[in-house]
Structures are given as C-alpha cells and as structure tokens.
Structure 1
Amino acid sequence: MGTNEGMPKAANHLTQIKKQLGALDRRLFRSVADAHFPGLDRVLPRLSRAADNSLLWAAVAGTLALSGRRQMRRAATRGLLAISLASPVVNLLGKQAFGRARPSIVDFPLARLGRIPSSHSFPSGHSASAAAFAAAVAMEVPARVGVPIAVTAGAVCFSRVYTGVHYPGDVLAGVGLGMGAALVTKRLWPGRTVIGEARVAATAPLIDLDPDGEGMVAVVNNGAGRDPGTAAAVRMEFPKAEIIETEPGDDLMKRLQEAAGRARVLAVAGGDGTMNCGAQAALEHGVPLLPIPAGTFDHFARTLGLETIDEAASAYRSGHVVAVDVGEVAGRVFLNTASLGIYPLVVDRREEWEGKIGKWSALVLAMADVLMHNRTPDELVVDGVRRRVWLLFAGNCAYESSGVAPTRRDRLEDGVLDIRLLTAASRLPRLRAMASTILGGLGVSRHYLAWRADTVRVASPSGSRGEVLLARDGETFTAQGPVVLSKRPRSLLVFRPVE
C-alpha cells in the first residue's frame, strides 16, 4: 500500500522539477534577450547562419584536410564522423520525442532575430553538431588548433540563444549529445595512441634490398579513395619499382596474385580491404608484404606503426621484417576482423550508397536501413551449440575492451581468435543490438559471450550448405556453409618501422 501511495508522490515531484527547470530555462532566455553586447548583433547571427546544415564545419574540415598533414586529415574525418552520428540522433529521434515549441519572440530584438526553423526546439541540432565536431577534432590536434575551433563552436552554441531560436536548455542538451557522439567515434575509429604499439615476432633482417625499390612490385588501389596522388608518391619513393595501378571494377585479387608471382617484395597501397587481398597473395607466393596506408581507416598498417608513405618507405629501407598472425575464414585471410550477422548487412548497404552520398552518410543510412527492416537473428550452431545470433565477431589476435566492436590490439602474434557473440536468448530489439555493435556490450550481459580459440566452426541447424554473408576487414562476400574460422600463426612477413 505504501508503495502505491509513493508512486503518485514521486510523479508529482518529477513534474515539479520539470516545471522549475522550464521556468529557469525561460528566465535565462529572457535574460539573454534583454542583454546587449556591442558588436555581436552582426557577428553572431551570421555565424549562426553559417552553421546551417553544418556548412561551417564542412568548410573547417576542408581547410584541415587541405593542410596536407595526416593529423589534420584525421581530425577532419573524425569531426565529420561525429556530426554524422549526432545529427540523426538529434533530428530524427530527439526533436520528435520531446516536441518542444520554439521560444516566444515577443519583444525579442528584431535586429538579431534569426530564422525560426519549423522543427521542434529540443535539443539544438546546431549545438550538437558544433560540440561533436569540436570535441572530435580535439582528440586529434594540438591545443593551438583545437582551442580556436572549440571557441568557434561555443560561439555557435551561444548564437542559437542570442538569435532567439533556442532556449539555453536546448543548447546544453545538444552539447551533451554532440560530445557523446564524439566519444562514440573512438569506438568506430581508434585514436592515435594505438599506432605501432602491438607486439610482433621479430625475424632476421632482409639483406640486399635496393633502396630505390628494384625487385619490388607495388600495387596501388586508386579506388581506395583517400589520395589521388598515392601512385605518384610511391613512384617518387621507389623509382626502380614496378608500379601497378588498379581502378574500381578491376579484378584486384588477380592483379595482386600476378604481381606477387614476380615480386621480391609486394607493396600494397590501399585500405584494409585491399591489404587483406595483398596479404593473401603474399602468403601464397611466399614474399614479404610492405603495407602502404592509403585508405580511410588503415587499422592494420596503423597497428604496425605505419601512417604515411614516408614511414612505409623508411620501414622498407631498414629491412625490418616481422612475422604476424592472420585469420582465415572460408579460405580467405583477414588481418583485423571477420564477422557475420548484423555487421555484414550494414557494410553491404553502405557499399551500395557510398559512391553517391559519401562513406559516412552511407554508413548512417545503412544502419537505419538495418534497424527499420524486419531483421531477425540468425539460427546457427556455433561450436556445436545452437544459438540465435545477432552478430558474431572474430578478431585476429586478442582485442582490448568488451563489446562486439573493439578496436585495439596489443599483439599481432598470439595465436588466438578473439570471439565475441551477441545472441538473442529472448527477442533482443534490433536497436539495442545495433547500439551494442557500436558502443560495446553495454546492458546486454545476458546475451553477450566472449572467448578465445584457434578455431571456430559455424553451421546451420539443419547442416545444409546454404550461403552465408560474411565481412572481413570491412569487405563482404558470401560463402557456402558450414564456415570455419581459424588462425595461421606468424605466417605473414611484413615490414615494420624499427623501434
């Protein structure tokens, strides 16, 4: 009885708190409306308009990217990724869920009144994008670059109140969501601290390597999409090497196999998908691999300590070769991860759309597509145990952190697969499953399993040989079941910078 009586009291108390916060928000808004800051009446409205549709941040990102420094390009990419995560949360979920009306503009100074959007007020989308971009950029750049961007972001946030289009509470909520989105990018894309830290198995140095690249065959994937000048830069570093350029639509694996067959050293310039094809060719022909980072993420090259073409060239000329593990699934190698379930579906959709709208926008839409359609868990038998599976993740070597989307490894030669399984013992909502994929195993401990092994066997309950959609290092393919994931310890020779 006491519990039932307490519930209305708690509800009334919560209602009172909401009313008090609303009243405080309106008073603060009125205080800003009544204030006058000389010189800001012209600056802040223009700054606010410049941030419409994140155009201001796109311009800043472009400036950072054009600086020519990899650190700045990374900052620009992380900033735009954070915006692409924050914007749909604010505009598609937040505003619709709360439906707060815009502030009253009665007696508001007309000289600085902004264009009143037709959307709801809470939370502020401009503030979310500003905070997301500034916080994400700050993860990558020194203070002399990050502080001016943060100050500009703060001015944009204040401008939304100063021009009469948002309450202060809207702005604070947007800032919180934006900073959260920036933190999520750390899950999707590891930070600079992981570069070159992974332990590897040392081997004897190669001798008689020509510093100009004689005997090297370098395959440059021009479809990797990061820098159109990659092939020219490789030619400049290795004037005696044979350079092969591939374009979208070419049979990349065939070109790599042919190159490895006549190479003393196989150099591969591209992203992680290109690199795992190069690793397969290098393994089959018994030649060392020189990874040249030229993709968006370059997880494998970065883990080795290679971020630029110059660093790859230095590693080659040092002759420092190490032995690393590779994973294998359905006869194809993977250097970072392999998976089945939700993630391959997202990758498949992203690849369909990224040529038209860009990789990050395509990623957001792909996630939404997977969530909105009637996806159901896969019925699978994993190592002899029947399970309903949302996602199976297999990492090449042990990854740090829990969850089904870890990003950092401390070793590249431990002989194990890192298995993460997100199951559906009861019906697990699709949104929760996808959130777990991005954020880790938060709140799904009953459905999250993790272990390490050198082999994992996945089959259908009926034992049929139906097709299975898989992803390896961000590329999808289909294979006939059952599927075996296994390890090839210390089998790939790669160049790495001397520590």
Structure 2
Amino acid sequence: MKRRLAGARRLIAVDRVVFGRIAARPWPFAASTLPRLSRAADHGVLWFGAAAAIAGFGGTPGRRAAGRGLASLALASAAVNTVGKRMVRRPRPLRDGVPVVRQLRRQPFTTSFPSGHAASAAAFAAGVGFQSPRWGALVAPVAASVAFSRVYTGVHYPSDVLVGAAIGVAAAVVVRALGSDRREPKPPRAAAPALDAGEGLVVVVNNTSGVPPLLVPHAERLRAAVPKAHVIEATEDDDLPALLEKAACLAAERGGALGVHGGDGTVNAAAAIATREGVPLAVFPGGTRNHLAMSLGVQEIEDTARAVRNGQATAIDLGYFTGVDGERVVFVNTFSVGAYPELVRVRERWSRRLGSWPASVLAALHVLRTAEPVPVVLGGQRRLVWLVFVGNCAYRGTGVAPLRRSDLADGVLDVRVVDAGAFARTRLMAAAVTGALGRSPVYSAKKLQGLLIEGLGEDTHLAYDGEVRRAPSTVRMAKSHKALVVYHPGA
C-alpha cells in the first residue's frame, strides 16, 4: 500500500513538473490558435462540423466515417462524464504559471481527471480513421492539437489528457467491434494477374463523376496507390466509351487489367467492355453511390489497389436486357421501369437518419403520391404498376429499394413489383405501419433466371445502373453467370 501511494505521489509530481514546463515554454503561434481551437471543441461543436464536412465531401465512405466518428465520440463522452470524473475527483491545476493570454475566458468547473475534450477528440479521430484512414489522417492533427490545448491553456494536467485520449481510442475500438458488418462467406477466387505496383493496369478516371476531391485529385491518389499503372483522365469533352475501349485493348496487350474510377454508369460501361475484351476489371469507387464497389467491400481507392497488387479477384454475374435496337445491354446492379430512380434518390437521403428499411418504405409512399403508373405485361398478364425493379443477384431486405447484396454470382434476378390499382396507396401504408411489406398485396417479389416485360408504351423509360433511356415495347432479361472477373479485396 505504501509503495502504491509513493508511486502515485511520484506520478503526480512528474505531472506537475511537465505542466509547469509547458506553461513556462513559449510556443510560437499557439497563443492565437490553441485557445480558440479548445473553445471550438466545447460540447463537440468542432467535431459535429467536421463530421458534416466529411459527410458532404466524402460521399458514401465519408458519411460512414463521419457516423463512426460521432458514435465513438458519444460513447467516450458518456464514459468520461458518468464514470471517469466521478471516480477521481481531481481538482484543476493552479494557473499561476500560465500566461494570461493563454487562459480560457470561461474556466471549466468540473473535476480535472480525465479530460473530456481529449477523449472526444481522440474518439472522433480514431472512429473516422478506423472507417477511412484517409479522412482519419486529416482529422488526427486537429484532434492532437485540441488535446494539447487543454494543457496549454492550463485547464488539465498532462495525465488527464493522456488518459482521456486512451478512453477515446477505446470507445472507437468498441464502436468498431459493435458496428462492424456481419461476416459474409468469402467469394471464390478467380484467376487474375497480381500486378505489382499496378504494372499492366490501365485506369480510366472519369473526372465528371461523383463529388470533386477536397484536397488531392483522384488521378493523383491513384498514381500514389498504383504508381506503375497507366492512368487516363476523361473530361466531359471526351468520348468515355472510346477511352475505355482503348484502355481495355492496351490492358489486354500488356496482360494486365482494366481499371475504372467513376460512378455506377461509368462502371457499367467498363464492365461491358472488359467482358468483351476478356480482361479483369478493377473498380475504384469514384461516384456518388458506388453500388458495385459497396457490394465488393471496397470503400477507398487503396482497397482496390491492394487487391490488384495481391491478385485477389472473383467472378461475378452480369444482367442483360434488350434495348430499342435489339442490342444486348449490360447492367451490373439494377434495372427498373417506373418510379425507381426517384425512389432511390429519396431513400438514400432519408436512410442516414431513419435507417434503410424505414427509409425504403417512406420513400415508396412519397414517390407513389406523385408517380404515374405504367402499363406492362408480365408473365402474359397485363398489369398496371408503379415499379418493376430487377436486381442483378439477390438483394437483402424486403423493401422495394434494397441496398446490399451478399453474393454477386448466385445466378438469379431479384424481381420486385409494386402494383397500382384500387386502394394501393392505403394497402402499402398499412404494410408500412404493420411492418408486413413482404405480405402486402400490392408488393410481390421473386427470384428468377429470366424475365419478359411486354406492352411498354412509347413514352416509357427504363433505368439501369444510373442511366436512363427510352424503353422498347418488349424487354427480355437474362443472366450471364460469372461473366466478369473483378478484383475483390475479400476474395
């Protein structure tokens, strides 16, 4: 017991010595920035603003990173305020040696140990970094500055800050463990070249896709991740299909692979060309939604780059439908007739606040209020529908606008139909309230290997992988099993 007390006294003495040296040392430019930064972090305001910026500029990966960071911050804050500060009621440091210019206008009145600001800063930075190392690297210096500012302004001892930061990191670890995606069976590996540093990889970057980069241009990030790859940048003045065709031929000559950085429509075009030229496809997420990349477990450019270097690839299915001229058109993710494009837009805006399933139901109700039903013939039966959704492979969930797939090579089309007719809105609303959407008489779903849609009018449009075009009177749909080899970090 005496040894423990002696050790505690030595730690306290060291704490005070370090605190005094920090107070006595001049820190260039710190007096004008650190107190303001410390105040900005009060009540998590700084981190909520950072989360909004990351979500706004980072697309889907950014939104996930921001959500993980805020969840970690909430857990760390709860741990510090409900347990930490009540267990150790340590008084605040004496500020006699701290220059007045550094001191905060409003001094904290709570106990000193541990530092809540340091815990929140570390939790947010670690939470963001676990989800997106790129955004975490941007946030980390700010978080470290906030933590140090608490000693610099004289409101915490160094040990308060260190323990608070440790609590924050621990909270982020817990959130990562609780919020990790459920483990899916690893897809079987397909033959694809392992391209060291990307040698033999030809990547087309569609600069018109997605959100403009915040700091580093997409092409520069790609060159850093796969330095030996040949990177081609496409602007709005370029013929994207022609560039993809040229890149695929060049990749075939080099025994490499075609890479594409862009949204769902860009990936669709690249998938069709890669299949025709017989080269593997490397999908680098660069659009707004990145549905195929999400299904592949790819969140960052570096995820795909790692798979390319290791030769990790799998074979996936492609869906096909007949276009106006009778040509066979590829779709990688989804095909739809009716109100699906608007439904997806509304659902994705609401899903961040409400969750996927409630947002799907409410988005369906919202769109059905304004949508015009479409006459179709399905299975020889004439029907009036608001929506025909066809997914390439089975999607999770009961809703009419599902998000994720577990298996990209299951050989089926996921067909979901919402009928119009008498009391359809009332029936769908009742299904939403009772949670029985899958048993609603206006909603039907089947897993098929092919589908024939007939009787489409001249003004009817269809959508596939984010692209919209006029529909022919008859659409035949089929699957091509394991038609395309794609790099997959989980293979």
Name the TM-score, length of structure 2 as normaliser.
0.57
The superposition leaves residues 397-447 of structure 1 with CA deviations (integer Å, 9 ceiling, x where unpaired) of 112221211222221111110111111242523x9869989x997387111
Give the 3-state SS of the residue equivalent to 2:471 in structure 1. Answer: strand
- What is the CA-CA distance between 1:58 and the residue it aligns to? 7.7
Percent of aligned positions with the same letter in both sequences? 39
Distance 1:72 1:283, change over 3 A: closer
- What is the CA-CA distance between 1:467 and the residue it aligns to? 5.1
Give the 3-state SS of the residue equivalent to 1:386 in structure 2. Answer: strand
2:51 aligns with 61
Give the 3-state SS of the residue equivalent to 2:305 in structure 1. Answer: helix
Match of 2:218 among 215, 227, 230: 230
Equivalent position amino acid for 1:276 in 2: N
Give yes or no for the alignment of 1:321 onto 2:309.
Answer: no
Asked if 2 retains the 8 angstrom alpha-carbon contact of 1:201 and 1:490, the reply is no
Match of 1:412 among 380, 399, 408: 408
State the 4+ residue runs in structure 1 displaced beyond 6 angstroms.
55-58, 66-70, 148-151, 347-350, 366-369, 431-437
Give yes or no for the alignment of 1:259 onto 2:251.
Answer: no
Give the 3-state SS of the residue equivalent to 1:262 in structure 2. Answer: helix
- What is the CA-CA distance between 1:465 and the residue it aligns to? 7.1
Asked if 1 retains the 8 angstrom alpha-carbon contact of 2:206 and 2:233, the reply is yes
Equivalent position amino acid for 1:275 in 2: V
Match of 2:447 among 452, 464, 469: 452
CA-based RMSD of the aligned residues comes to 4.3
- What is the CA-CA distance between 1:269 and the residue it aligns to? 0.8
1:88 aligns with none
Distance 1:57 1:249, change over 3 A: farther
Equivalent position amino acid for 1:260 in 2: A
Q: Structure 2: which 5+ runs fail to align?
A: 1-39, 80-177, 323-327, 348-362
Asked if 1 retains the 8 angstrom alpha-carbon contact of 2:271 and 2:484, the reply is yes
Distance 1:372 1:394, change over 3 A: closer
- What is the CA-CA distance between 1:328 and the residue it aligns to? 1.4
Give yes or no for the alignment of 1:497 onto 2:489.
Answer: yes
Give the 3-state SS of the residue equivalent to 1:279 in structure 2. Answer: helix
Asked if 2 retains the 8 angstrom alpha-carbon contact of 1:198 and 1:412, the reply is no
Provide the rounded CA distance (Å) in 2 between the counterparts of 1:205 and 1:425.
50
Distance 1:474 1:194, change over 3 A: farther
- What is the CA-CA distance between 1:480 and the residue it aligns to? 1.8
Equivalent position amino acid for 1:415 in 2: G
Provide the rounded CA distance (Å) in 2 between the counterparts of 1:233 and 1:196.
29
Provide the rounded CA distance (Å) in 2 between the counterparts of 1:269 and 1:372.
36
Q: How does 1:166-205 map to 2 (within 5 A)?
A: 197=184, 200-205=187-192
1:219 aligns with 204
Provide the rounded CA distance (Å) in 2 between the counterparts of 1:234 and 1:300.
19
- What is the CA-CA distance between 1:303 and the residue it aligns to? 1.8
Provide the rounded CA distance (Å) in 2 between the counterparts of 1:248 and 1:368.
36
Distance 1:70 1:389, change over 3 A: closer
Equivalent position amino acid for 1:251 in 2: D
Which of 64-73 and 257-266 deviates more?
Answer: 64-73
Match of 1:381 among 341, 352, 377: 377
Equivalent position amino acid for 1:458 in 2: I
Provide the rounded CA distance (Å) in 2 between the counterparts of 1:301 and 1:216.
18
- What is the CA-CA distance between 1:203 and the residue it aligns to? 2.1
Provide the rounded CA distance (Å) in 1 between the counterparts of 2:411 and 2:431.
27
Q: Structure 1: which 5+ runs fail to align?
A: 1-46, 77-136, 152-190, 351-365
Distance 1:201 1:450, change over 3 A: same
The superposition leaves residues 263-301 of structure 1 with CA deviations (integer Å, 9 ceiling, x where unpaired) of 131001122222122111111111100011122322211
Q: How does 1:269-308 map to 2 (within 5 A)?
A: 269-308=261-300
- What is the CA-CA distance between 1:68 and the residue it aligns to? 8.2
Give yes or no for the alignment of 1:309 onto 2:301.
Answer: yes
Provide the rounded CA distance (Å) in 1 between the counterparts of 2:369 and 2:46.
31
Distance 1:198 1:273, change over 3 A: farther
Name the TM-score, length of structure 1 as normaliser.
0.56
2:417 aligns with 421
Question: How many correspondences in the alignment?
Answer: 330
1:240 aligns with 228
- What is the CA-CA distance between 1:197 and the residue it aligns to? 3.1
Provide the rounded CA distance (Å) in 1 between the counterparts of 2:237 and 2:384.
36
Equivalent position amino acid for 1:393 in 2: F
Asked if 2 retains the 8 angstrom alpha-carbon contact of 1:272 and 1:298, the reply is yes
- What is the CA-CA distance between 1:236 and the residue it aligns to? 1.8
Provide the rounded CA distance (Å) in 2 between the counterparts of 1:440 and 1:261.
51
Asked if 1 retains the 8 angstrom alpha-carbon contact of 2:195 and 2:308, the reply is no
2:73 aligns with 145
2:64 aligns with 74
Give the 3-state SS of the residue equivalent to 2:388 in structure 1. Answer: strand
Q: How does 1:120-159 map to 2 (within 5 A)?
A: 137=67, 140-141=68-69, 143-147=71-75
